[in-house]
Structure 1
Amino acid sequence: MPSRNTFGDLVVLEEQLKEKCGVIGVWCAEKIASLYIRKGLSALQHRGQESAGISIYTPENKIQTYKGMGLIPNVLTTDVIHQLGESKVAIGHNRYSTTGSSTACNAQPITLTKGKFQISIGHNGNIPEYQHLLEQLEEKSKEECSSDTYLVAQLLLQERPKYSDWDETLKNVLPRIRGAFCFVILTSDGAMYGARDTYGIRPFCLGKASNGWIIASESVAVDLTGAEFLRDVKPGEVVKINFDGELSSFFFGEPKRPQNCIFEYIYFSRPDSFENGIRVRNGREASGKLLAKRILKKGIKADVVIPVFDSGYPAAKGVAVELGLPLIDAITVSHYIGRTFIQPGQENRMAAVNGKHNIVPDEIFNKRVIVVDDSAVRLTTSKRLCLGLKDAGAEEVYMVFASPPVVNHCDLGIDMKSKKELPASNWASEHLEVIEKNVAELMSANGVVYLPIEDIAMAMERTKEDFYHYPFGGPHPIRGQQYEFPKMKKKITSQAKIAVLISGSGTNLQEIIDRVDNGDIEAKIVLVIANNERAYGLERARKHNIPTSVLPYEGKVNDQEKRKEYDRLLLDLIKKIDVDIIVLAGWIFVLGDEFLSKVSQKEIPVLNLHPALLTTNLKDTIASSRGIIPVMRGQQAIKDAFGRRLLVSGVTVHQILPKNNFDIGPVILKEEVRIRSNDTLETFEKRIHEAEHRILPTAIKRLIHVMKAGIDVSKGDFYW
């Protein structure tokens, strides 16, 4: 039995951490949100198989919740969906328990009511410091539901009367929650929220359908509901869809360096998911190729490569291709058993392992085999497979893993309660080769090969510092030393002051003006500068009593002296006013290094809006949810993308830095725009502009949030 830690009348169960859940939220104009929830949760079934649930909202009945133990087809049956009735908005959850026991009481979403306020919440992640949540509760519930999510729901309901609306409540409460979380939240006014912790530890994305919106743990849920992937929800971002289907977002908490969980890419996520600019399958296959180089370096000779399905297959493919060996399916898997790593409790895991894998001896008799798996945590599966292959006649068995040895427990979303259940932790202080030798002896293998964390990061085209990898011996993102960003000398204490540069009609300027006027952007536009006196954006600014200035460029484009003179004139305009941020919203002129250097010295970041997906560097291709595509730079980016019939293009807001090439720089925010088979240039361009109107104000808000934290982003040192 798990031990109990009581605080007042509330009982919290301390049990093994067994996290990995799937969350989804849907807004659907056709009032069939519950059907899309069921589809999306089915796509996320791999993230949790203990329980499932759904909450819907209707103005008549407010929030209704249905949940139960088991898989999606058994819980969210057709009868259940029919009984719930029509609804435009709903949230759903697959559970694999973290803090709290595997019981129906802890199934999610968790729905609570206090006074006139009601909330329903689903959570992917883990809040290890639940004692901190308990200490904030003024009244202690007598319920024995033990999950951290229950405590969060209580806290949000408690704090709601202190603030004007749910937006303000979330802005003030979420920074007080220390842990890894992606929340889907449904409130009693019919609004749906998706919130991601400031480190971005768990994946979370936003999609759009013709009739609505979707937020989900993985892009596969977006794909399989027929929606189109737009972008990742950023660390520290809250995405809101109100009952009328209007999308907005805001940011909370102290900005941190992102720490995406490396286990998502190694094991948890589906291989067809696209997360944080990485196709999971491609990263796993690339890690397999790097793993093959270690195998060669060790002098291991083999005849065949055997994958451990399912998550081990891409890495095994990479190993086989790189070594030039046949890839054979000598280990079959039952998909009706479930994923053994996320089975609650070691006894359940052992039972699942014994029934999940079967060895086919036909092609391995007297063969030297390399068995490739994604990882080895407790060695439950790996040891049995190694012995089974030898019993089936394999001459030599080499167990290789596309990850480092697991030497630390995890309290942010992985089922690792303590080091005691992690065999490799016994040699955590030793060199990798020593750990490999000892683990090989432990599982009776002829050899063991692990992949260092640096190689995994390389396979994902990142560095190890970009990932949460505490279980592999890395720093703890929350309890460990925090990354120090450069500090600003000046402070933004109230409204940020913005100068907007335009060349044309100013539709994006109008969007900024409207967001400033309604209070969505906490800023003031202090000047609009146009390089064309006929730019209609000037009229838009004047209608709102915003100061304007016209500064046309007179000279040839390649006249360097004229360009330097223009830079100085533009800088003089900026110097006359107190500016915090410069935004290029349809500004068709390349700013010179002299101007950019001067404003950078004044800690003024320069933002540019570009109608295509851009990289931060000179790479000429970029990963998208529809595959690798060419980067479309220049003024004709929309026409170029459409003319080449790309599957997808998009919109990017990035910083412009001195000595950078054209259309590159740190990316603050980007959003994909699908090019559909029935698109004309006009319809595609219309959707590009719609995306611009969403993403530019959001990027400005994100920038202001970071700058108000006292961080100097003007030199391009911030990890967006």
Structure 2
Amino acid sequence: MSDQIKHECGIAFIRLLKPLSYYQEKYGTTLYGLNKLYLLMEKQHNRGQDGAGIATIKLDMKPGNRYISRYRSMAQNAVSDIFSYVQNKFVSIQEETPELMKDAEYLKQNVSFVGEVLMGHLRYGTHGKNSIENCHPFLRQNNWMTRNLVIAGNFNMTNVDELLEQLYELGQHPKEKADTVTVLEKIGHFLDDENQELFDEYKKEGLSNVEITQKISKNLNIANILRRSAKNWDGGYTICGIVGNGDAFILRDPAGVRPAFYYADDEIVVAASERPAIQTAFNIPIKDVKEIEPGHALIVKKDGTVSQEIYRDPVEKRACSFERIYFSRGSDADIYKERKKLGQLLCPQVLQAVNHDIKNTVFSFIPNTAEVSFYGMVEGVNEYIRNLQKEKLIKNKENLNDEQLDELLSLRPRVEKLAIKDVKLRTFITQDADRSEMVAHVYDTTYGIIENHVDTLVAIDDSIVRGTTLKQSIIKIIDRLHPKKIIIVSSAPQIRYPDCYGIDMSRMGQFVAFDAAIQLLKERGMEHIIEEVYQKCKASLLLPKDQIVNHVKEIYKPFKQQEISDKIAEIITPEGTNAEVQLIYQTLDNLHLATPHHTGDWYFSGNYPTAGGNKVVNKAFVNWKEGNNQRAY
């Protein structure tokens, strides 16, 4: 994505099902779990670069001994910083008594972070709150082991105000207005309730408090706690939690918006936001990694029992398609195929735009995240060429001379590395004019590959949000090569609507497609639609959220997709550009064809998977109209 946006978060969870000595004997290290947690987090580093954190729990520790450890970091390389901190715990042992590094029981009793239950989190701050206090995991502490709670997640809730009000009604006083706090306190409240109900029950049976504590630990009903906690949540989420006794859960929202995968055998249970991270860290074949079902929680009890239980009725699955287009690493087997398919499906539009003139067209990609869809586009062009060659050979085999035959058989796509991002360059100058000039040099280009004013450049991007990098940098640079025409191709459809489930796209003014539609309405004397939509959106905010519809769709309704694409091309073309600039976007139908199992497309279609999404989009429009730059949820 040439326009950088913050997005997503990543979770990593490990439960060791055997004693720590087992891993020392089989794998040569008591730190097997920590080593694997590090790998899981590094293999998901793409999901969070604002901070990271880990937490571990030791099972069956005697009272008075520390059994929960947590460390969070906002360092530039937060994952490395965290595990350097953990590694320092072992320095004196390695230097003074190295034989103790093989003593699993000694390490568990004497060194923090050596435990059987491990959690990791990578954070992208979607709304600018970047402090150590905003880094997961979050911890709710209590002297009762089974009332302690650690959570981390990849989520945004659309109804934070409503959830906060419910906490007030329960008598709580949260320390801040944030969905992470509300989720922690909501689960914590019903965890307390479950503890109290069990305590009262066992007290009536005449058990001692020590006996009661053991019984509570054994019989905590995690699924019931989650059912009560998540009853009114509206959002996209994957949330990982550990109770102080060692019970753990990973739950996924009812529409399956956010991803969650797991693997379990007799040694280990592992969960993560991305499948390849599990495959790579544990050398597991793809068929053995399972998906946590929407509306389900993967529950690992302290005794090692693993189950997947419904905590909320699943609804129509609307898994995030942006995961497939951009956010997840392309090393997932299915995602790789889907991204290639996205590029291939664009070929008919691209070939039409270049008048099928392969000889005078150069194909490339910007930025590197578009590389896989670029391969698909090139494969599509090659398929077109093969069919063309076959057709001409069959029809003209008697009339082709050697020169014509050589020319026909030599036809192939001209593929070049066009733009290279200069990762060392920093736009540190604060004045707007100077910053704009510096941004124009963030990308370098390859000279000498274009025939002046003859060749057309086709450059594929995975998606276009704001279009600012294209305008301020990429198109300016490409135009210096003197092409006849520049065609920017987006493997994703036009981004028209805000996201409210974990991606930093919450304001209408961020979208160049929205800007284009507004300009078209004004140019064609249809400004009354803007005012009408504003009034409808404002009135809708007084309704219950399940009665609200997305009125912002009416802004786009008067126009065909190509009309908006042409206007976007006009907006992002810098003044003084000599080449003609054209934009080609993926269609929604082709998106669904390429990603059939990930139909969450609300940022493109406006069809939100939860009722709260419609409220958010209408609120975002009201905010835009009133000049309010706040988030809409």
TM-score surpassing 0.5? Answer: yes
Going from structure 1 to structure 2, the CA distance change for 1:185 and 1:334 (only over 3 Å counts) comes to farther
How far residue 450 of structure 1 moved from its aligned partner, in angstroms, is: 0.2
CA distance in 1, matches of 2:78, 2:136: 13
Question: Identity of counterpart residues, as a percentage?
Answer: 21
Residue 190 of structure 1 is matched in structure 2 by 246
SS in 1 for 2:129: coil
Question: Counterparts of 1:263 and 1:110 in 2: how far apart (Å)?
Answer: 27
How far residue 68 of structure 1 moved from its aligned partner, in angstroms, is: 0.9
Q: Which moved more, 1:245-254 or 1:355-364?
A: 355-364
- Gap change, CA 1:139 and 1:310, over 3 Å in 2: farther
Structure 1 residue 112 displacement after superposition = 1.4
Say if 2:174 and 2:182, in contact at 8 Å, map to a contact too: no
Return the alpha-carbon distance in structure 2 between the equivalents of residues 176 and 330 of structure 1.
Answer: 50
Q: Report the counterpart of residue 12 of structure 2 in structure 1.
A: 24
* 1:306-341 deviation per Cα after TM superposition (whole angstroms, max 9, x unaligned): 112332111111112222323322222367899x9x
Deviation of residue 299 (structure 1)? 4.6
Q: Distance in 1 between matches of 2:223 and 2:437?
A: 46
Distance 2:86 2:77 in 1: 14
The structure with the largest helix share of the pair is: 2
1:409 paired residue number: 498
Matched residue type, 1:401:
S
Residue 80 of structure 1 aligns with an amino acid whose one-letter code is V
Residue aligning to 1:246: 305
Q: Does 1:63 align with 2:31?
A: no
RMSD: 2.9
Q: TM-score when scaled to structure 1? A: 0.59
| Equivalence map 1:426-445=2 (5 Å) | 426=515, 427=517, 428-429=556-557, 430-444=559-573
Where do 5+ consecutive residues of structure 1 fail to align? 1-15, 341-345, 483-720
* Structure-2 residue corresponding to 1:80: 86
Q: Give SS of 1:468's match.
A: coil
Higher relative contact order (CA 8 A, sep 6+): 2
State yes or no: 1:377 paired with 2:449.
no
Task: Tell whether the 8 Å contact from 2:339 to 2:372 is kept in structure 1 after alignment.
Answer: yes
Task: Show the counterpart of 2:269.
Answer: 213
Task: Give the 3-state SS of the residue equivalent to 1:467 in structure 2.
Answer: coil
Task: Output the CA distance in 2 between the equivalents of 1:26 and 1:170.
Answer: 20
SS class of match (2:351): helix
1:332 and 2:388 matched: no
Match of 1:158 in 2: 189
Q: Which has the higher strand share?
A: 1
Task: Map 1:260-279; keep pairs closer than 5 Å.
Answer: 260-273=319-332, 279=334
Q: Which amino acid aligns with 2:114?
A: E
Task: Name the residue aligned to 1:661.
Answer: none
Q: Is the Cα–Cα contact under 8 Å of residues 38 and 76 in structure 1 kept in the other structure?
A: no
- Superposed, which structure 2 residues align to 1:81-230 within 5 Å? 81=87, 83=89, 84-98=112-126, 101-114=129-142, 116=144, 117-137=147-167, 138-141=170-173, 143-144=175-176, 147-163=178-194, 164=198, 165=220, 166-208=222-264, 211-228=267-284, 229-230=288-289
Is 1:448 aligned with 2:507? no
Whether the 8 Å CA contact 1:114–1:157 is kept in 2: the answer is: no
Structure 2 CA distance for partners of 1:193 and 1:480, relative to 1, 3 Å: closer
State whether structure 2 residue 605 is matched by structure 1 residue 473: yes
Structure 2 length normalisation: TM-score? 0.66
Question: Contact between 2:296 and 2:311, CA under 8 Å: does it hold in 1?
Answer: yes
Q: Deviations over 1:125-178 (max 9, x none)?
A: 21121112211213555645x541222111111121222523321122123211
Give the Å deviation of 1:443: 1.6
**2-side partners of 1:255 and 1:19: how far apart?**
24
Q: Deviations over 1:473-529 (max 9, x none)?
A: 2311112899xxxxxxxxxxxxxxxxxxxxxxxxxxxxxxxxxxxxxxxxxxxxxxx
Aligned ranges 1:393-408 → 2 under 5 Å: 393-408=482-497
SS of 1:77's equivalent? helix
Following TM superposition, by how much is the alpha carbon of 1:81 offset from its aligned partner in structure 2, in angstroms?
Answer: 4.3
Mapped contact 2:279–2:289 kept (Cα < 8 A): no
SS at match of 2:155: strand
2:336 equivalent to 1:281: yes
2 CA distance for matches of 1:75 and 1:133? Answer: 35
AA partner of residue 292 (structure 2): V
Which residue of structure 2 lines up, in the alignment, with residue 504 of structure 1? none
Task: Report deviation, 1:95.
Answer: 0.4
The one-letter amino acid paired with 1:191 is D
Alpha carbons of 1:337 and 1:41: their partners in 2 closer, same or farther (altered >3 Å)? Answer: farther
Q: Deviations over 1:2-41 (max 9, x none)?
A: xxxxxxxxxxxxxx99431011101124353222221111
Match in the other structure for 2:45? 45
Instruction: Tell me: CA distance 1:335–1:77, structure 2 relative to 1, closer, same or farther (3 Å).
Output: farther
Q: Which amino acid aligns with 1:176?
A: N
Matches of 1:377 and 1:296, distance apart in 2: 24
Q: 1:225 to 1:254 in 2, by over 3 A?
A: same
Query: 1:354/1:196 Cα in 2 relative to 1: closer, same or farther (>3 Å)?
Result: farther
Q: Equivalents in 2 of 1:356, 1:370: separation in Å?
A: 20
Distance 1:215 1:244 in 2: 18
1:646-677 CA distance string (max 9 Å, x none): xxxxxxxxxxxxxxxxxxxxxxxxxxxxxxxx
Give the alignment of 1:639-718 within 5 angstroms.
none
Aligned counterparts of 1:435 and 1:260: Cα–Cα separation in 2: 27
Indicate if the aligned counterparts of 1:100 and 1:148 stay in contact, CA closer than 8 A.
no
2:576 corresponds in structure 1 to none
SS of the aligned residue for 1:318 comes to helix
Whether the 8 Å contact between 1:99 and 1:128 is mirrored in structure 2 is no
Deviation readout 1:273-295 (Å, 9 max, x if unpaired): 25xxxx11110111111111122
State the alpha-carbon separation in 1 of the partners of residues 503 and 192 from structure 2: 35
CA distance in 2, matches of 1:336, 1:25: 34
Within the candidate set 325, 345, 369, 1:290 is matched to 345
Given the alignment, which residue of 592, 595, 611 partners 1:460? 595
Indicate conservation of the 8 Å contact 1:353/1:380, yes or no.
no
C-alpha separation in 2, matches of 1:380 and 1:216: 33
Note if contact 2:299-2:308 (Cα within 8 Å) is conserved in structure 1: yes
CA distance in 2, matches of 1:331, 1:283: 24
Identify the residue that residue 408 of structure 2 maps to in structure 1: none
Amino acid at match of 1:34: L
After TM superposition, list the pairs within 5 Å mapping 1:620-635 onto structure 2.
Answer: none
Q: Aligned residue for 1:232?
A: 291
Unaligned runs of 5+ in 2: 24-29, 90-111, 199-219, 383-412, 518-555, 574-579, 615-633
Is 2:315 aligned against 1:315? Answer: no
Give the match for residue 388 of structure 1: 477
Tell me the CA shift for residue 448 of structure 1.
0.4
Whether the 8 Å contact between 2:174 and 2:181 is mirrored in structure 1 is no
Deviation at 1:186, TM superposition (A): 1.2
AA aligned opposite 1:207? Y
Match of 2:136, as an amino acid?
Q
